[in-house]
């Protein structure tokens, strides 16, 4: 038996673990005591992370669509077909009829090369990935405000906080290692403030739990700032020395008195004041947030409102302070860093900046497209309208994870070419013209970048099943077939290319990573990496305040659709469930979908626990079992999106945040009745 | 019983000789940390702390194929995997005690054949603990720091080498077959072993003087389990890492051909005790947690006459909620 040290494949915490390998099979997983963050601990998904790897459902051979079936093909047949159709589409409709969706589950090296395939070989900036559905507002909002869209401090810095504000994050279930750190900080004396319409486990542990009505975040965050300003708890030295634009924000916040906030959000004034005093008076206070902030049509405004709060109180650039956006996938941070974004090159360098794009043109000896491409949801809209004809999807399952499932289905059906590279058959591979079987995290080398900017190694523990290949090799093969002059590189060599083009990764070399990894920015080979950002200055010089105002929601409960549906995840499953539903203990723990209903609503509609109900929105309908949850506010329903039996995204809308193009997953007006 | 002395520089030659006939499992470094893995010439990590994953996984793996089923002309045939003969080098007294606990449970009628098969083909070379870890409580639980039974050979590190004691015919055989690596042990060396182990015991008891099986039983009956259940982060780590946890689940993977897999289960999960109707006799996390503790400190002593806790401290090392024995005692 061998024990191979690697990095967990689930959430953005980036915990270290050993895969136990016997006879080329993964037979177990265990925590890594020496890992800098997880220190010998894992969550339930981490403990069971090795199980799906050897599942008999794994994709073993390339598949090609013949009629309504997908039949086994050779790699040569599959990739020749991909090449021919790409070229045909490019010739008939131009390069921008092609799009590439990379994978936040893939490695940095795979994301970088897929991005390069899109830009340098296919010649389109239509490249995006699932960050569009989770933290696009963070990238947009924090980049504007403080010059960087990443978590400002290491997770362990939370241990030094006096007050920790957790907003729209079910932390114990979605980022258990962060939750463990927060609760440890609380046991050492930090005050824990949780803002969530649901009474989650961390909300139940909070010193103050506030339950704003969904979609009213700008109002209460401005309200907090207003109290802080009135109580003179702002950090004037910080504001004067390191920021610009405070006056306008001050003016905007003054409209949000505790009484106004109560009328919009339902938060009682005394609790708002208590929370404001706790955050404002702390010597070091931090803000932790997740999808409850970002997945709104006002996602970028929400992020800016939080940044305004941190800037006004000087809670940045020091131990125990900071803004902690929690990234959902183990490498969604890395996929963003690698420039798998339609408007940004690796290292967040703008496509529209001629000097930046020329650097890449020189390095790759090609002309690159200069107009920003389409975002993920827009790519599918364009496919439905017919202007996108071919999509390469790596390890994503848009039929389950994108909003408005009916439209996604129509879009994917309309394509001339849909290529899906994945480890398991999914709802989306069932629509593909070509399915490419690729290696899972246990079957390849590479790096993942965790939510705290920690670049960490993953190591090949076993061989991929059947004829499956590492996706990096598939990309190089495809590049060659498309006539690109790039030779195949090992993952370590790809990292050297990344280092030469992404200044934050300038000093990253495989031999330097060990089990501690390195936190970017790490500009050169002697640089030890950076824990806390913005200590002395912001990358943009002065940080920018921007006034934000509460806006109308794209959809509110009305007579026909009287409930507000929130979608999300559970502790025991991950996204569309392709891995966790094939992990026996996880699947047994939560074997199917349930919608959470407040007891009063349930009583009124005569719905009992385990009763089947029909939920309907303007987009679609589904049938699901109900569970009575006293921790939910009246008028609100909660449904996880893991389950194809009741796909939550049949109900969600494609309403987008204008700045970041994220869909508003957290707000759908729905009706509910007994089935 | 035979007693001998193995000098440090004879250790690797001895293992090389043993590895010709057996798969030697030993603590080696992976990612700079000690783990039990197959020895292929790597540097040994016998001086490092006890690896986090216990060597019990070589007797009761967290995942194993019991057999493979293959359909041939409409009839099923079954293939059982062959088990390698193994020698586990460096199993600590706490883990050795856990082997005794599992022996009693798994070989009770009806005997667990998969366990017995592995158990029979495994030689155990124990390593007594002269330097206990900070979470170790084997002295209080009566399982260490020196092992008293259940080993084929027991090693005690004396600095320049190891005092080697045989505990079974298999152990004697190893000593007899490889005389070139051993010399006779002196009375001073035997006395030094006793002194080192006494000091080790002393050290553990000094850290937690009041801990005992009985004090744990009292703490368990006094604890506010609902409160502890609210704090538990439901990772299941305590049950996955505990060397005496042995509950498993069985599933058939693959149609028409495939494997019958058994994998570690966890009573920390609600699905473990939930019935088909949805009713759950251990409905809250607090009840499940209490059950895990009671199993270790109350039920197992009653049923098999041995504590289910061997004092290895692993449940504390892996606890995501940093919920531990001390917290349990501190809470009313």
Q: Kindly report the CATH number assigned to the domain that includes residue A598.
A: 2.40.40.20
Task: Return residues 249-308 of A near B (CB < 8 Å).
Answer: none
Q: What is the pLDDT of residue B278?
A: 87
* Domain match, B220 and B163 both: no
* Domain match, B146 and B196 both: yes
Nearest CB partner across the interface for A30, out of B53, B236, B258 = B53
Contact A180 B233 (CB under 8 A): yes
**Which of A299, A326, A353 finishes a domain?**
A326
What residues of B are in contact with residue A179 (Cβ under 8 Å)?
Answer: 233
Residue B145 and residue B138 in contact, taking contact as beta carbons nearer than 8 Å = yes
* Domain match, B169 and B222 both: no
Quick one: closest CA in A to B270, which residue?
A589
Region B299-311 average pLDDT:
96
Q: Is A461 on the interface with B (CB under 8 A)?
A: no
Contacts of residue A103, Cβ cutoff 8 Å, sequence gap at least 6 = A110, A111, A129, A130, A335, A394, A395, A396, A421
Contact A47 B240 (CB under 8 A): yes
What does chain B come to in residues? 332
What residues of B are in contact with residue A51 (Cβ under 8 Å)?
Answer: 63, 263
Contact A41 B320 (CB under 8 A): yes
Q: Could you write out the three-class secondary structure of A446-469? A: EEEECCCCEEEEECCCCCCCCCCE
Region A126-152 average pLDDT:
95
Per-residue pLDDT of A509-542, as tens digits, reads 999 999 999 999 999 999 999 999 999 999 999 9
- Could you list the residue range(s) of the whole structural domain that residue A217 is in? 152-326
Q: What is the pLDDT of residue B326?
A: 54
Quick one: closest CA in A to B268, which residue?
A44
**How large is the C-alpha radius of gyration of chain A?**
24
* Domain match, B12 and B60 both: yes
Region B262-274 average pLDDT:
96
**How many CB atoms lie under 10 A from the CB of residue A610?**
12
Number of compact structural domains in chain B? 2
CB pairs under 8 A between A and B: 126
Return d(Cα A451, Cα A520) in angstroms, integer: 11
Q: What is the dihedral of CA A119, A125, A126, A129, to 10 degrees?
A: 80
* Domain match, B257 and B196 both: no
3-state helix, strand, coil in chain A (%, to 5): 35, 20, 45
Question: Is A178 inside any structural domain?
Answer: yes
* Domain match, A602 and A666 both: yes
Quick one: closest CA in A to B255, which residue?
A56
* Domain match, A413 and A430 both: yes
What residues of B are in contact with residue A46 (Cβ under 8 Å)?
Answer: 235
Q: What is the pLDDT of residue B73?
A: 86
Q: Is the pLDDT of residue B28 over 90?
A: yes
Region B61-78 average pLDDT:
93
Name the average pLDDT for chain A: 96
* Domain match, B222 and B203 both: no
Q: What is the pLDDT of residue A640?
A: 96
3-state secondary structure of B183: strand
What residues of B are in contact with residue A40 (Cβ under 8 Å)?
Answer: 52, 317-318
* Domain match, A211 and A276 both: yes
Region A428-441 average pLDDT:
97
Q: Is the pLDDT of residue A583 over 50?
A: yes
* Domain match, B113 and B246 both: no
Quick one: closest CA in B to A609, which residue?
B278
Nearest CB partner across the interface for B31, out of A32, A180, A591 = A32
Q: B324 pLDDT band (50/70/90 cuts)?
A: low
Region A536-564 average pLDDT:
95
Residue B133 and residue B314 in contact, taking contact as beta carbons nearer than 8 Å = no
Nearest CB partner across the interface for B52, out of A40, A47, A204 = A40
* Domain match, A485 and A583 both: no
Per-residue pLDDT of A146-170, as tens digits, reads 999 999 999 999 999 999 999 999 9
The H-or-E segment that residue A291 falls in is: helix A291-294
First to last CA, chain A: 52
CA angle A468, A473, A475 (to 5 degrees): 110
Q: What is the pLDDT of residue A663?
A: 94
* Domain match, B176 and B245 both: no
How far B59 CA lies from chain A's nearest CA (Å)? 13
- Could you list the residue range(s) of the whole structural domain that residue B312 is in? 213-330
Quick one: closest CA in B to A4, which residue?
B30
Return d(Cα A577, Cα A582) in angstroms, integer: 8
Contacts 24+ apart (CB under 8 A), A89-92: A89/A389, A89/A390, A89/A416, A89/A417, A90/A122, A90/A123, A92/A389
* Domain match, A482 and A336 both: yes
Region A571-597 average pLDDT:
95
What does chain A come to in residues? 675
Sign of CA dihedral A54, A56, A58, A61: positive
CA angle B84, B90, B95 (to 5 degrees): 90
Q: Is the pLDDT of residue B284 over 90?
A: yes
Q: What is the pLDDT of residue A97?
A: 98
Q: Would you say the ipTM is above 0.90?
A: yes
Nearest CB partner across the interface for B237, out of A27, A41, A184 = A41
What residues of A are in contact with residue B57 (Cβ under 8 Å)?
Answer: 20, 28
Quick one: closest CA in A to B229, which residue?
A201
Contact A30 B33 (CB under 8 A): no
* Domain match, B182 and B298 both: no
Contact A172 B233 (CB under 8 A): yes
Beta strand A612-616 pairing with A621-628: antiparallel
Return d(Cα A212, Cα A264) in angstroms, integer: 9
**Which of B148, B180, B207 finishes a domain?**
B207
Number of compact structural domains in chain A? 4
Q: What is the pLDDT of residue B277?
A: 87
Contact A41 B240 (CB under 8 A): no
Return d(Cα A169, Cα A666) in angstroms, integer: 12
Q: Is A204 on the interface with B (CB under 8 A)?
A: yes
Q: Percent of chain A, pLDDT > 70?
A: 100
Quick one: closest CA in A to B26, which residue?
A1
* CA distances from residue A396 to A125, A379, A427 in whole angstroms, order as listed: 19, 14, 10
Question: Is A519 inside any structural domain?
Answer: no
Region A380-397 average pLDDT:
97
Q: Is A146 on the interface with B (CB under 8 A)?
A: no
What residues of A are in contact with residue B33 (Cβ under 8 Å)?
Answer: 5, 32-34, 515
Contact B235 A34 (CB under 8 A): no
Instruction: Give which of B198, B220, B210 is closest to B300, Cα–Cα.
Output: B220
Q: What is the pLDDT of residue A580?
A: 96
* Domain match, A168 and A262 both: yes
User: Which residues are B251's β-sheet partners?
Assistant: B261
Q: A552 pLDDT band (50/70/90 cuts)?
A: very high
**Which of A457, A490, A523 finishes a domain?**
A490
Q: What is the pLDDT of residue B71?
A: 92
Question: Is A507 inside any structural domain?
Answer: no
Contact A3 B30 (CB under 8 A): yes
Name the average pLDDT for chain B: 94
The H-or-E segment that residue B196 falls in is: helix B187-207
Nearest CB partner across the interface for A47, out of B37, B57, B236 = B236
Return d(Cα B125, Cα B128) in angstroms, integer: 10
Q: Is the pLDDT of residue A259 over 80?
A: yes
Per-residue pLDDT of A472-501, as tens digits, reads 999 999 999 999 999 999 999 999 999 999
The phi and psi torsions of A36 (rounded to 5 degrees) equal -60, -30
Task: Return residues 13-42 of A near B (CB < 8 Å).
Answer: 16, 18, 20, 22, 27-28, 30-34, 40-42
Quick one: closest CA in A to B31, which residue?
A5
* Domain match, A212 and A322 both: yes
Q: Percent of chain A, pLDDT > 90?
A: 100
Quick one: closest CA in B to A457, which residue?
B31
Quick one: closest CA in B to A47, which residue?
B237
* Domain match, A161 and A304 both: yes
* Domain match, B7 and B135 both: yes
Q: Is the pLDDT of residue A329 over 90?
A: yes
Return d(Cα A187, Cα B319) in angstroms, integer: 15
Measured in whole angstroms, the distance separating CA B329 from the mean position of its chain's CA atoms is 25
Q: What is the pLDDT of residue B332?
A: 37
Task: Return residues 538-597 of A near B (CB < 8 Å).
Answer: 571, 584-585, 588-589, 591
**CA atoms lying within 13 Å on the CB side of residue A22:** 19
Contact B37 A3 (CB under 8 A): yes
Q: What is the pLDDT of residue B329?
A: 56
Measured in whole angstroms, the distance separating CA B148 from the mean position of its chain's CA atoms is 16
Region A268-285 average pLDDT:
97
- In sequence order, what E strands does chain B have? 3-7, 23-30, 33-38, 63-72, 75-79, 86-91, 122-127, 153-157, 161-166, 182-184, 248-253, 258-264
Contact A44 B269 (CB under 8 A): yes
**How large is the C-alpha radius of gyration of chain B?**
21
The first and second tokens of residue A153, run together, are 């401090």
In CATH, what number is assigned to the domain containing residue A469? Answer: 3.40.50.740
How far A247 CA lies from chain B's nearest CA (Å)? 43
The H-or-E segment that residue A435 falls in is: strand A434-437
Contact B320 A180 (CB under 8 A): yes
Contacts of residue A364, Cβ cutoff 8 Å, sequence gap at least 6 = A116, A120, A486
Q: Which residue has the tokens 């124990």?
A: B126
Region B28-46 average pLDDT:
95
My answer on whether omega of the bond before A426 falls inside 30° of 0, hence cis, is: no
The first and second tokens of residue B155, run together, are 């090693």
Nearest CB partner across the interface for A589, out of B62, B64, B270 = B270
Nearest CB partner across the interface for A585, out of B33, B61, B271 = B271
The first and second tokens of residue B278, run together, are 């949805």
Q: What is the pLDDT of residue B287?
A: 96
């Amino acid at each position: 038996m061998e024990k191979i040290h690697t990095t967990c494949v689930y959430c953005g915490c980036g915990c270290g673990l050993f895969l136990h390998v016997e006879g080329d099979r993964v037979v177990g997983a265990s925590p890594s005591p020496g890992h800098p963050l997880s220190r010998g601990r894992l969550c339930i998904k981490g403990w069971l992370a090795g199980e799906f790897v050897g599942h008999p459902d794994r994709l073993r051979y390339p598949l090609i669509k013949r009629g309504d079936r997908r039949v086994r093909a050779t790699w040569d047949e599959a990739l020749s077909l991909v090449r021919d159709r790409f070229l045909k589409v490019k010739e008939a409709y131009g390069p921008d009829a092609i799009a590439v969706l990379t994978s936040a589950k893939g490695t940095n090296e795979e994301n970088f090369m897929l991005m390069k395939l899109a830009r340098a070989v296919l010649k389109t900036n239509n490249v995006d990935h699932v960050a569009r559905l989770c933290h696009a507002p963070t990238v947009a909002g924090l980049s504007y405000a403080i010059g960087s869209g990443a978590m400002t401090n290491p997770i362990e810095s939370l241990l030094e906080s006096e007050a920790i504000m957790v907003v729209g994050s079910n932390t114990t279930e979605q980022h258990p290692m962060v939750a463990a750190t927060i609760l440890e900080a609380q046991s050492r004396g930090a005050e824990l403030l949780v803002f969530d319409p649901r009474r989650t486990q961390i909300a139940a542990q909070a010193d103050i739990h506030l339950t704003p009505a969904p979609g009213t975040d700008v109002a209460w965050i401005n309200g907090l700032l207003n109290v802080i300003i009135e109580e003179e708890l702002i950090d004037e030295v910080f504001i004067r020395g390191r920021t610009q634009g405070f006056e306008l924000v001050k003016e905007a916040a003054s409209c949000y008195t505790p009484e106004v906030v109560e009328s919009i959000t339902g938060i009682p004034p005394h609790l708002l004041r208590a929370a404001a005093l706790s955050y404002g008076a702390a010597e070091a206070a931090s803000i932790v947030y997740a999808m409850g902030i970002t997945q709104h049509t006002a996602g970028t405004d929400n992020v800016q409102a939080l940044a305004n709060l941190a800037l006004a109180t000087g809670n940045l650039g020091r131990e125990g302070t900071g803004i902690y956006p929690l990234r959902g996938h183990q490498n969604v941070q890395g996929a963003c860093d690698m420039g798998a974004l339609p408007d940004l090159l690796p290292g967040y360098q703008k496509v529209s900046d001629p000097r930046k794009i020329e650097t890449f043109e020189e390095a790759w000896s090609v002309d690159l497209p200069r107009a920003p491409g389409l975002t993920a949801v827009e790519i599918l809209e364009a496919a439905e309208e017919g202007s996108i004809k071919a999509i390469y999807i790596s390890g994503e399952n848009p039929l389950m994870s994108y909003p408005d499932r009916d439209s996604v289905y129509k879009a994917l059906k309309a394509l001339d070419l849909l290529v899906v590279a994945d480890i398991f058959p999914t709802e989306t591979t069932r629509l593909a013209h070509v399915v490419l079987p690729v290696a899972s995290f246990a079957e390849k080398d590479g790096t993942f970048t965790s939510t705290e900017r920690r670049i960490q190694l993953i190591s090949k523990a076993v061989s991929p099943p059947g004829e499956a290949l590492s996706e990096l090799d598939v990309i190089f093969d495809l590049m060659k077939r498309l006539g690109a002059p790039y030779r195949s590189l090992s993952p370590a060599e790809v990292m050297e290319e990344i280092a030469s083009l992404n200044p934050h990764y300038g000093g990253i070399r495989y031999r330097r990573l060990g089990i501690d990894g390195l936190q970017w920015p790490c500009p050169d080979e002697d640089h030890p990496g950076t824990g806390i950002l913005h200590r002395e200055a912001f990358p943009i010089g002065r940080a920018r305040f921007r006034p934000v105002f509460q806006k109308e929601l794209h959809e509110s409960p009305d007579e026909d659709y009287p409930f507000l549906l929130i979608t999300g995840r559970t502790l025991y499953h991950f996204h569309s469930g392709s891995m966790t539903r094939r992990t026996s203990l996880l699947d047994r723990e939560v074997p199917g979908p349930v919608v959470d209903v407040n007891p009063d609503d349930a009583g009124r509609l005569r719905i009992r626990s385990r009763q089947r109900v029909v939920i309907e929105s303007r987009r679609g309908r589904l049938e699901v079992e109900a569970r009575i949850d006293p921790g939910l506010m009246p008028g609100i329903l909660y449904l996880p999106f893991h389950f194809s039996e009741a796909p939550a995204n049949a109900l969600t809308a494609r309403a987008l945040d204008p700045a970041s193009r994220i869909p508003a997953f957290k707000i759908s007006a729905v009706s509910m009745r007994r089935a | 019983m035979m007693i001998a002395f193995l000098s440090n520089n004879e250790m690797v030659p001895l293992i090389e000789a043993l590895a010709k006939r057996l798969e030697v499992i030993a603590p080696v470094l992976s990612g700079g940390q000690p783990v039990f893995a197959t020895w292929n010439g790597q540097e040994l990590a016998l001086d490092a702390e006890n690896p986090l994953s216990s060597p019990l996984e070589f007797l009761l793996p967290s995942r194993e194929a019991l057999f493979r089923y293959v359909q041939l002309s409409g009839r099923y045939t079954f293939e059982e995997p062959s088990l390698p003969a193994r020698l586990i080098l460096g199993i600590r007294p706490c883990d050795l005690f856990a082997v005794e606990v599992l022996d009693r449970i798994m070989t009770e009628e009806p005997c667990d054949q998969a366990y017995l098969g592995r158990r029979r083909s495994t030689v155990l070379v124990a390593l007594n603990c002269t330097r206990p870890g900070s979470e170790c409580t084997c002295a209080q639980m009566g399982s260490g720091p020196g092992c008293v039974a259940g080993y084929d050979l027991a090693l005690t590190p004396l600095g320049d080498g190891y005092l080697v004691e045989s505990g079974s015919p298999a152990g004697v055989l190893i000593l007899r077959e490889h005389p070139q690596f051993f010399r006779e042990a002196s009375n001073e060396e035997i006395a030094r072993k006793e002194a080192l182990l006494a000091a080790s015991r002393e050290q553990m008891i000094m850290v937690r003087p009041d801990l005992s099986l009985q004090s744990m039983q009292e703490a368990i009956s006094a604890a506010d389990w609902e409160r502890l259940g609210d704090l538990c982060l439901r990772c299941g780590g305590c049950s996955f890492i505990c060397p005496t946890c042995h509950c498993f689940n069985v599933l058939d993977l693959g149609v028409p051909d495939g494997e019958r897999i058994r994998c570690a289960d966890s009573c920390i999960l609600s699905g473990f005790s939930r019935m088909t109707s949805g009713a759950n006799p251990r409905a809250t996390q607090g009840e499940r947690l209490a059950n895990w503790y009671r199993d270790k400190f109350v039920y197992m002593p009653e049923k098999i006459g041995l504590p289910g806790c061997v004092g290895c401290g692993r449940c504390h090392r892996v606890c995501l909620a940093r919920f531990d024995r001390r917290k349990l005692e501190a809470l009313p």
